[in-house]
Amino acid sequence: MTINGGISFWYATDRTAPATPPRAPLTGDATADVVIVGGGYTGLWTAYYLKSSAPSLRVTVLEQKFCGYGASGRNGGWLYNGIAGRDRYAALHGREAAQRLQRAMNDTVTEVVDIAAKEGIDADIHRGGVLEIARNPAQLTRLKAFHAAETAFGETDRELYDATAARARIGVADAVGASWSPHGARIHPLKLLKGLAAAAERLGVVIHESTPVTEIAPRRAVTPYGTVRAPYVLRCTEGFTASLKGQKRSWLPMNSSMIVTAPLPPETWERLGWSGREVLGDMAHAYMYAQRTADDRIAIGGRGVPYRFGSRTDNDGRTQPATIEALTALLTSFFPALTGTEITHAWSGVLGVPRDWCASVTLDPATGLGWAGGYVGSGVATANLAARTLRDLVQGDSTDLTGLPWVGHRVRRWEPEPFRWLGVQALYTAYRAADRHEAATHSPATTPLARLADRISGRAH
């Protein structure tokens, strides 16, 4: 029987949970130098870097449930160099500025790996890179364009594979090509999250769990149990931002779902390959993402039901049975030998999507309000870069990070309901239809329906 929900597979199999008591909630009004709203990667990395660079700072983190309840404890475990909005930043600020942002992201993968080693965090990290597969002629056309674009942005160590070489890396059915980047690693997202929280606390960061913030205002974060006042209030809430007062239309909480198989025997891995333990993606419009876990399962994810009316979030990770069926079909489409393999866990979570699909970092010195996010599913590494940037902004330092083009970026709000829901449903209906059309026709050109959907959604720049 598939366990559906339980936050995520990472939580359901967490053997340290009984030994990790919940952190105490806020018990009254308090003060700090910096208050951070959100106990995920962005919030905890920001707290960690602030206390590391300025130990005297009083840093408090407020988390509505428990650290890692959101995307940081549910994601697919891709630590890689992708960042949402790079092409738009190139159009707005010039190609050189966008190249600096990309180089910073390349370096961020190494930064996370190095800090994990420094802090003794065993997060099942394996730096096998990122393999992105094309499975039909239209996907191959996009793959080659993608590879050329990444190379032009300075990733000269990326490799392009034909069908034979692609299948030699990972035995994906119908693979016609692939692009591999060394700037990626497989991780266990919860182990990284828990290790990071512990490292921040060792530095003196105060973390209050079970403390929902209902309102963020200049120099204060309001909760049912008291108000924390601080010169700086940083919003690090990603897909849960819409639950805050006044933020309903800031970032759309996009849903993503995952399944994971039972551990696969050695003879199955002999057929599949995947000895490099690369993280795996594809060039479909409704794309997938996967990893080979440390205990030899395959965890694979995709959109499922992309958005819930009114920017609602899920119920502790539970996903729809139809989504489990769709992801299982996707798994066996990629790996026919896995037909009938047990699916042990399924779950879902939300990620933050700005209206222009651009991640950003902002701090207003006049009000002390700052925020980072809108990672559009690429947040495992991006959160670290955002956190180091927030650190520099709070400290008033002018650095290479504060000069990156995503700093201070503003974007218009999402449309009100029901237009928001109708638009997202139509968008992903179009993308799935485009994927089916491309698979059936074997045309090398991207279907016009997908190009139209990109323009309407704001993904095309």
The pLDDT of residue 20 is above 90 = no
Tens digits of per-residue pLDDT, 242-297? 889 899 889 989 889 999 999 999 999 999 999 999 999 999 998 899 999 999 99
The pLDDT of residue 237 is above 90 = yes
The pLDDT of residue 308 is above 80 = no
**If DSSP states are collapsed to H, E and C, what string results for 413-458?**
CCCCCCHHHHHHHHHHHHHHHHHHHHHHHCCCCCCHHHHHHHHHHC
Tens digits of per-residue pLDDT, 63-72? 999 999 999 9
The share of the chain scoring above pLDDT 90, in percent, equals 81
Strand residues in 67-135 grouped as ranges (E): 78-80, 130-134
The pLDDT of residue 461 is above 60 = no
Tens digits of per-residue pLDDT, 30-77? 999 999 999 999 999 999 999 999 999 999 999 999 999 999 999 999
Per the model's pLDDT, the better-predicted residue between 198 and 421 turns out to be 198
- Residue length of the chain: 461
- Which one-letter amino acid corresponds to residue 404? L
The share of the chain scoring above pLDDT 70, in percent, equals 98
Instruction: Report the SS3 class of residue 19.
Output: helix
Q: What is the pLDDT of residue 75?
A: 97
Q: What is the pLDDT of residue 430?
A: 87
How many beta carbons lie within 10 A of that of residue 81, not counting itself? 24
Q: Which sign, positive or negative, has the C-alpha torsion 24, 28, 33, 35?
A: positive
User: pLDDT band at residue 123, thresholds of 50, 70 and 90?
Assistant: very high
The pLDDT of residue 4 is above 70 = yes
Per the model's pLDDT, the better-predicted residue between 163 and 428 turns out to be 163
* pTM, two decimal places: 0.95
Mean pLDDT, the chain, integer: 94
Q: What is the pLDDT of residue 420?
A: 86
CA-nearest of 29, 9, 439, 41 to 238 is: 41
The pLDDT of residue 459 is above 70 = no
Q: What is the pLDDT of residue 429?
A: 86
Q: What is the pLDDT of residue 460?
A: 60
